[in-house]
Chain A
Amino acid sequence: MTLDLHAGESHHNPATGGSPAEEFPYWRGLEELSGTPEFIDSLRREFPRQASELKDPESRRTFLKLMASSIGLAGIGLSGCMRQPDEQIVPNVRQPADRVPGKAQFYATCSTLGGYARGILVESHEGRPTKIEGNPEHPASMGATDIFGQASILGMYDPDRSQDVRKAGLISTWGEFSKALTAQLAKLRGKKGEGLAILTETVTSPTLATQLRELLRELPSARWFQYEPAGRDNVRAGAKLAFGEYVETVYHFGQATIVLSLDAEFLTGMPGSLRYAREFTDRRRFVAQPKHFDSGEVSIDGSHEFHPPMNRLYAAESTPGLVGATADHRLRMKAADVEGLARAVAAELGIKVAENATTPGSVPADWLAAVVEDLKSHPGQSLVIAGEGQPAVVHALVHAINQKLENVGKTVEYTAPVEAEPVDQLASLTELVELMRGDKVQALILLGGNPLYSAPAGLEFAKAFDRVSFRAHLAQDYNETSFAAHWHLPEAHELECWGDARAFDGTASIQQPLIAPLYSGRSPVDLLAMLRGHPEWSTYELVQRTWKQALGEEGFEAKWRRAVHDGVIAGTKAEAKTPALKFVDADRTPASRSGLELTFGPDPTVGDGRFANSGWLQELPKPLTKLTWDNALLISPTTAKRLNFVNEDLVELVLGGKSLRAAVWILPGQPDDSVSLAWGYGRTHSGRIGTGPGVNAYQLRPSHQAWFSDGLELRATGTKHPLAVTQTHHSMEGRDLIHKMTLKQATEGSHPPSHVRQHPEHEPTLYHLEDPSAAAWGMVIDQTTCIGCNACVIACQSENNIPIVGKEQVRIGREMHWLRIDRYYRGPIESPETNFQPVMCVHCENAPCELVCPVAATLHSHEGLNQMVYNRCVGTRYCSNNCPYKVRRFNFLDYSGELGLSAVQAPSLSLMHNPDVTVRSRGVMEKCTYCVQRIQEKKIDAQIQNRDVRDGEIQTACQQACPASAILFGNIRDKNSQVAQLRQSPLNYSLLGELNTLPRTTHLSRVQNPHPDLPMPAKNDTLPLNPTLLDEIGHESEGQKPAAHAPAGH
């Protein structure tokens, strides 16, 4: 059932909380008679028609049961009379102007990550949201999205989402819960709410915050706690240490020429990352300087520059991440050593630091000198940033450094906190646990979150949780905490309900629903209204009420419409402020170090665990390790050798009396004696995807120190755990695949790509060459700005209905991603330079695949697209063999069916598919199409308006998602198009151009801006043959054998 979401402002009115049973008095007897929970449930369901289709996984069986009981008990005459919701089917007398069947509509809303909003535009086909795009008007998105934003559409259609209220695991109703809650509240209200505790995640939503505050006002003794497992406690504590108050730090990478990152994952892991990535890469972007001749012809001569001057990034990093890979100079160091580096930099800049501070041995003197020199020479244009995993003192030191470098107000801006109620969340959770342990909590309401899974093991949350007599948990999936709670309440997805949230800079957005809740989910605001005894208040009204207050009654309707339409509420950006620095570095008590260091962090693809049931994110290769479906203990080659571990060895980690078994993965660039294990895996109560893979690193997380700890012991177990990686070879074998130059070489033009790759030409051929058409589609991928974040991969997967294949299939190389990001190392294996290369079908003009297909299932369009005709494909796979780029993917099996996600087994997923893209069958080859459906759509638009397609009008899915704008698409025959101009750039080259494939997708050489005094890593990627050291250690030779015991598929 679709909703009228006309002009992005209409809404649905969710049921208002009364017992649904009351709506069906006539049938009460029948319910009692038939008695099956499914039957009762189906009667009570708000939207039975769609919902019963989605009743997963046994929709057919349920249906039959339902029919049987209906017919058997009520007689045939009555069986068809189950009450349907009132629904009037009336044709549009006047068709709404923007409603054309088959044409997608876009609605602005926001999606949150860690509580912070990122603006999105949601593509909707006849009431079905199908794709997430960034909202160009939103400051935290600028049109880009990250993997989590892209995957949130799958989160909504997730067939394993919680669909029912459950009481002690048994299906119940909101009405029943309401009764129980009312009874509970009646007891608590007398004591002014004493004993009532509410646990939320980070809250930036003004409406939710208002509701919480109001509730606390009404019940002053109730308590509100917050906990986010991968939260920003260190950032908050650092601000408090530096300024004596909580402040939000906003960075302006666009102004920064020198950036020093202290273990900060600012390109992906922070609330403002999408914007930071754009601003940062804008300073590394090669801008062609076209020369306009009188004839209107454009050409680019040898001179070319980066405008404004290219920035330089120094990164100190523990676990290799995207920032280190992008950096001009990466320094690997233990997480605990970063503090010493921060002090050393501060001291060099003349900031008074603890007297007993020593520079860690892992910091080379010339490196430090270069950093300091650069920072000093760029006052107001430099930026030092500390990672969320670094302790508060590092953040405070960084605040002091930025102050000293006059960066405040230029590259760094402070604002009031965006969070509604900033607290030290670990302390907050600890306090809650203590209260629970002391039996001071009688009722605990959890709004989201999954603390039973994600609380540090040291807290023993589960034990304390059991002592609470009334535990209700609102969550989107029936997870570990739901399992232990008395009441589980299904939460509506962000795309299903109203709401609001703030972005990293304070900008607020209205979150509008795209579809009625698929199941019986409700929003947190709904639940709070229930708590306040006003179940009749709808979230919609409450959100409006919040903003009526903020924006004023006058002209509210227009402002509201504007805000909902734009996805941004104008003028809500937080004011900049300049808090006084109060930080004085105290004497440092040198920590006694023992054993190995263990670092944690949210997993690069499944985050803190909330995305564990997302097949897209599980199967997304992690940027550095290329690992899928698992987390692994990342360990440096030297340490692995010392401890005699090879890849896939299962080892036992012992830390603080707790132990855990994880598989080893050797990662070049990992600091020695420091190992890393990501959070987010080892879920025990998730869906069919999320339950199982990996190990739960939270179980080792000590309660005192959040992100890293020393004293780890590793013990061999003698067993193996198979891991699935998508890339098993890591050296370029001396092939100049990612051409690299320094900024100096680039400006001088002294180190160009090989001539044949730079200027590929049509070689003589016997075959007829097509006459040039008006449009010749082409793409340019900028390897300087590509940060390897994978957003394009998920965007492509979402746009093109690409299936997931499961761990065992990935293990034997059958992942289906049309777009992959190759990661190559160059230099010494201990601390190599990391290079990313996005590779998808390059649409060769001389395509080797087309020649060899016996049934002509892959052909060339007159506009240069290498097209794949799925219906014609018989599946010889010769095209894939003959593709030098190996970008063709084959449906070896019926993957959706193999994983239990077929249209029958998971009907909700069919609704998610992009209707403009064919869903491929088993036995068919597929590959990147340049998003041909998007090209066609814009061409039709242009034709209707009797004009040419404008440059930049067509955006491929990958291009649109890219936070770094590293992908550009357009008509290369139009000499004024950006693509055509970039293709003439001296950085431009055709990958494997010497094969005379004449690729339409070309790559721009990677340009780095190293400090002239610092040595670049030795170029030793010319190991002639295997084994590279990695192979020797076991990457390939043993790494990828299919596990004998495990069945293919799930």
Chain B
Amino acid sequence: MSKKKSRRSHGSDHSGPEDHAQKGPQHPGDAGHAEHTFGSVTDKISSIVLTRKTSRGWLGGLLFSCMLLMVLMYASAYLLARGIGIWGTTVPVGWAFPIINFVWWIGIGHAGTLISAVLLLLHQDWRTSINRFAEAMTLFAVCCAGIYPLLHLGRPWVFHWLMPYPNTMGLWPNFRSPLVWDVFAVSTYFTCSALFWYMGLIPDLASLRDRATGRAQRVIYGMMAMGWRGSAKHWQRYEIAYLLMAGLCTPLVVSVHSIVGLDFAASIVPGWHTTIAPPYFVVGAILSGFAMVMTLMIPLRAVYRLEDFVTNKHLDNMAKVILATSMMMAYGYLCEVFYAYYSGNEYERYVTLNRALGPYAWSYWALLASNIVCPQIFWFNWARSSVPVLFFVSLAVNLGMWLERFVIVVISLHRDYLPSSWRMYYPTVWDFAHFLGSIGLFFTLMFLFLRLLPMISIFELRELVHEAEGEA
């Protein structure tokens, strides 16, 4: 990467991965460790896919994820057969778990693009170790998110009416509806993320092709590598295309969740109808995305011994991002309360009070505790370098972000304008089945990805090694 400016100056004085825990804070770019050569990087990462025996842990994990996936399949089949009345969704709470889950997954899916594209453009080289993984996570999270808007329709079999296509009825979707924007935003985001991810994979796929031992592997990886030979011309065009793609993806980081935010903001439901919603949703998404990357990365790097590549420094950086976005969220929550007070609007005021003191107050306070209070521990160095603390906080934030969507969706809806229609919402077993099932889908895809594709970008790491060597 020609434009990459190396800010790694003391990568070489680091010892093996086993020391990292004691080393304390480290500098970004540690991943391109001097002890690693091109060969060792490639070996280490590609071996997970090509040569390592399929571990029992992996099999067990996949099996368990598949079981959860079956729950999703079963629940969806039942849903299609009987109708969405199997959920607790009702009037006035017309949106509940499915939309909460949708927003939650989309939020998680944010980290990928952010890490890959935005950090690439900002020359944050430390992203290299985690970007592939984060992109995959994005893709899978968007897959999970994508099933909800379909399934939550009363008549899912006509979902294509949401898309503009020429038809004999001469009908177009209603372009004033944020849900149509949503269709565009999410599908664009998915397409771009998938392309970006796949483009990033091509050189690595070629490496896998070249190192493949079996014929089937060679053929499959070969086809997927699309004839990559690694010539200088290839590299030159590739780099330009990759940068352009990153540039294209960057606005999506803002657009997807802004538009998800607009799904709410464009309505007149008190508690939804706020101008702060789009930025607030984006920040929330980044928060939850990073938290999810952390939640997944911590066990993964332990299992696959990737501490060389995903160092504590990475975790430290992510913790800082979490802390920063958590503070922004706090600002958002404060703003909401202030708006309610300052607007003088009785309905807004009521919603705010109802969040804090109403029947679902537990969720509001739990969300503040996990999204705002917990990450404050990251002000401390020791906390950012303590893997258990990091792991716990990332879990808390994941939960908190789910609760946040619960607070926004359910609490706002359950008591709006006319008290006569106020009603409590209670999820049913099917609501949980679909939620757990989507987690199953996510992990199934994740496990397959880990086993079949290089989870860390080999060529980018090699570049880092190269650059580090050059500097040394």
Chain A residues whose C-beta falls within 8 Å of the C-beta of B86 in the assembled complex? 893, 1048
19 more contacts with CB within 8 A, not counting A852-B267, A882-B268, A992-B417, are A735-B419, A737-B419, A813-B91, A824-B420, A839-B418, A839-B420, A856-B172, A856-B173, A856-B174, A874-B159, A877-B89, A880-B92, A885-B418, A891-B83, A922-B155, A923-B83, A923-B84, A1042-B428, A1048-B86
Chain A at the B interface: mostly helix, strand, loop or mixed?
A: loop
Q: Given A814-B85, A822-B418, A923-B83, A878 and B179 touching (CB < 8 A)?
A: yes
**One of B295-303, B305-313, B352-360, B441-449 at the interface:** B352-360
Within 8 A of A (CB), among B79-97: 82-86, 88-92, 94-95
The listed residue (B83, B154, B173, B358) touching A873 by CB distance below 8 A is: B154
- Whether A924 contacts B154 by the Cβ 8 Å rule is yes
**One of A381-389, A546-554, A1033-1041 at the interface:** A1033-1041
Check: A995 CB closer than 8 A to any chain B CB: yes
Q: Given A876-B153, A882-B267, A893-B83, A852 and B423 touching (CB < 8 A)?
A: no
Give the shortest distance, in Å, between A113 (CB) and chain B (any CB): 29
Q: Given A728-B423, A872-B161, A885-B418, A734 and B94 touching (CB < 8 A)?
A: no
Give CA–CA (A1038, B89) in the complex, Å. 18
Give CA–CA (A922, B354) in the complex, Å. 33
**A-B residue pairs in contact (CB < 8 Å), sample of 8:** A848-B268, A852-B267, A853-B179, A875-B154, A875-B155, A881-B92, A995-B417, A1037-B359
- Whether B424 contacts A1036 by the Cβ 8 Å rule is yes
- Whether B358 contacts A1026 by the Cβ 8 Å rule is yes
Check: A826 CB closer than 8 A to any chain B CB: no
- Whether B154 contacts A734 by the Cβ 8 Å rule is no
How many residues of chain A get a CB closer than 8 Å to chain B's CBs? 64
Within 8 A of A (CB), among B354-389: 354, 357-359
Within 8 A of A (CB), among B89-121: 89-92, 94-95
Give the shortest distance, in Å, between B270 (CB) and chain A (any CB): 9
Q: Which of A737, A848, A872, A1025 has the most CB of B within 10 A?
A: A1025
Chain B residues whose C-beta falls within 8 Å of the C-beta of A1024 in the assembled complex? 353
Check: A378 CB closer than 8 A to any chain B CB: no
Give the shortest distance, in Å, between B92 (CB) and chain A (any CB): 5
- Whether A851 contacts B176 by the Cβ 8 Å rule is yes
Chain A residues whose C-beta falls within 8 Å of the C-beta of B159 in the assembled complex? 874
**Minimal Cβ-Cβ distance residue in A for B94:** A877
Chain B residues whose C-beta falls within 8 Å of the C-beta of A874 in the assembled complex? 153-155, 158-159, 161-162
Give CA–CA (A995, B92) in the complex, Å. 18
User: Please, what's the 1-or-0 string for B136-173, where 1 marks a CB less than 8 Å from any CB in chain A?
Assistant: 00000000000000001111001101100000000111
Q: Given A881-B94, A923-B154, A1025-B350, A812 and B426 touching (CB < 8 A)?
A: yes
Check: B17 CB closer than 8 A to any chain A CB: no
Chain B residues whose C-beta falls within 8 Å of the C-beta of A1037 in the assembled complex? 359, 424
- Whether A813 contacts B92 by the Cβ 8 Å rule is yes
- Whether B95 contacts A732 by the Cβ 8 Å rule is no
Give the shortest distance, in Å, between A818 (CB) and chain B (any CB): 12
Give CA–CA (A923, B80) in the complex, Å. 10
Chain A residues whose C-beta falls within 8 Å of the C-beta of B183 in the assembled complex? 854
- Whether B417 contacts A854 by the Cβ 8 Å rule is no
Give CA–CA (A813, B158) in the complex, Å. 26
Q: Given A812-B88, A812-B90, A856-B174, A1040 and B154 touching (CB < 8 A)?
A: no
Q: Given A892-B84, A995-B268, A875 and B153 touching (CB < 8 A)?
A: yes
Chain B residues whose C-beta falls within 8 Å of the C-beta of A814 in the assembled complex? 85, 90-91
Check: B194 CB closer than 8 A to any chain A CB: no
Q: Given A923-B153, A923-B155, A886 and B358 touching (CB < 8 A)?
A: no
- Whether A891 contacts B154 by the Cβ 8 Å rule is yes
Give CA–CA (A854, B177) in the complex, Å. 5
User: Please, what's the 1-or-0 string for A964-1003, where 1 marks a CB less than 8 Å from any CB in chain B?
Assistant: 0000000000000000000000000000100100000000
Give CA–CA (A924, B428) in the complex, Å. 21
User: Please, what's the 1-or-0 string for B412-431, where 1 marks a CB less than 8 Å from any CB in chain A?
Assistant: 01011111111110101000
User: Please, what's the 1-or-0 string for A346-357, where 1 marks a CB less than 8 Å from any CB in chain B?
Assistant: 000000000000
Give the shortest distance, in Å, between A399 (CB) and chain B (any CB): 41
Chain B residues whose C-beta falls within 8 Å of the C-beta of A886 in the assembled complex? 91-92, 416-418, 421
User: Please, what's the 1-or-0 string for A818-862, where 1 marks a CB less than 8 Å from any CB in chain B?
Assistant: 001011100000000000010100000000100111111000000
Give CA–CA (A196, B430) in the complex, Å. 61
Interface size class of B (residues with CB under 8 A): 35 or more
- Whether B268 contacts A822 by the Cβ 8 Å rule is no
Chain B residues whose C-beta falls within 8 Å of the C-beta of A1036 in the assembled complex? 359, 422, 424
Check: A889 CB closer than 8 A to any chain B CB: yes
Chain B residues whose C-beta falls within 8 Å of the C-beta of A848 in the assembled complex? 267-268
Check: A925 CB closer than 8 A to any chain B CB: yes
Total of A-B residue pairs, C-beta within 8 Å = 185
Chain A residues whose C-beta falls within 8 Å of the C-beta of B83 in the assembled complex? 891-894, 922-923
Give the shortest distance, in Å, between B324 (CB) and chain A (any CB): 32
Check: B192 CB closer than 8 A to any chain A CB: no
Q: Given A851-B266, A875-B155, A881 and B82 touching (CB < 8 A)?
A: no
**Minimal Cβ-Cβ distance residue in A for B416:** A884
- Whether A1042 contacts B84 by the Cβ 8 Å rule is no
Give CA–CA (A733, B354) in the complex, Å. 12
Q: Given A727-B420, A855-B162, A880-B94, A924 and B85 touching (CB < 8 A)?
A: no
Within 8 A of B (CB), among A870-915: 872-878, 880-882, 884-886, 888-894, 898
Check: B178 CB closer than 8 A to any chain A CB: yes
Check: A809 CB closer than 8 A to any chain B CB: yes
User: Please, what's the 1-or-0 string for B205-227, where 1 marks a CB less than 8 Å from any CB in chain A?
Assistant: 00000000000000000000000
Give the shortest distance, in Å, between B253 (CB) and chain A (any CB): 24
- Whether B418 contacts A884 by the Cβ 8 Å rule is yes
Give CA–CA (A924, B350) in the complex, Å. 31
Give the shortest distance, in Å, between B130 (CB) and chain A (any CB): 36
User: Please, what's the 1-or-0 string for B173-191, where 1 marks a CB less than 8 Å from any CB in chain A?
Assistant: 1101111100100000000
- Whether A881 contacts B174 by the Cβ 8 Å rule is no
- Whether A890 contacts B91 by the Cβ 8 Å rule is yes
The listed residue (A728, A894, A995, A1041) touching B426 by CB distance below 8 A is: A1041
**Minimal Cβ-Cβ distance residue in A for B263:** A878
Give CA–CA (A1024, B419) in the complex, Å. 12
Chain B residues whose C-beta falls within 8 Å of the C-beta of A893 in the assembled complex? 82-83, 85-86
Check: B43 CB closer than 8 A to any chain A CB: no
- Whether B177 contacts A888 by the Cβ 8 Å rule is no
**Minimal Cβ-Cβ distance residue in B for A1039:** B424
- Whether B424 contacts A728 by the Cβ 8 Å rule is yes
Give CA–CA (A923, B151) in the complex, Å. 11
Check: A1011 CB closer than 8 A to any chain B CB: no
Chain B residues whose C-beta falls within 8 Å of the C-beta of A839 in the assembled complex? 418, 420
Within 8 A of A (CB), among B44-60: none
- Whether A873 contacts B269 by the Cβ 8 Å rule is no
Give the shortest distance, in Å, between A993 (CB) and chain B (any CB): 12
Chain A residues whose C-beta falls within 8 Å of the C-beta of B92 in the assembled complex? 813, 880-881, 886
Chain B residues whose C-beta falls within 8 Å of the C-beta of A854 in the assembled complex? 162, 173-174, 177, 179-180, 183
Chain B residues whose C-beta falls within 8 Å of the C-beta of A731 in the assembled complex? 419
Within 8 A of B (CB), among A700-741: 727-735, 737
Chain B residues whose C-beta falls within 8 Å of the C-beta of A894 in the assembled complex? 82-83
Give the shortest distance, in Å, between B320 (CB) and chain A (any CB): 37
Q: Given A813-B90, A855-B162, A892-B84, A729 and B420 touching (CB < 8 A)?
A: yes
- Whether B350 contacts A856 by the Cβ 8 Å rule is no
- Whether A855 contacts B91 by the Cβ 8 Å rule is no
Give CA–CA (A613, B418) in the complex, Å. 32
Chain B residues whose C-beta falls within 8 Å of the C-beta of A1040 in the assembled complex? 423-424, 426
Give CA–CA (A173, B359) in the complex, Å. 60
Q: Given A812-B426, A873-B154, A878-B267, A1042 and B88 touching (CB < 8 A)?
A: yes
Q: Given A874-B161, A878-B267, A1042 and B426 touching (CB < 8 A)?
A: yes
Within 8 A of B (CB), among A760-813: 809, 812-813
Q: Given A854-B179, A892-B84, A1042-B428, A885 and B153 touching (CB < 8 A)?
A: no
- Whether A890 contacts B154 by the Cβ 8 Å rule is yes
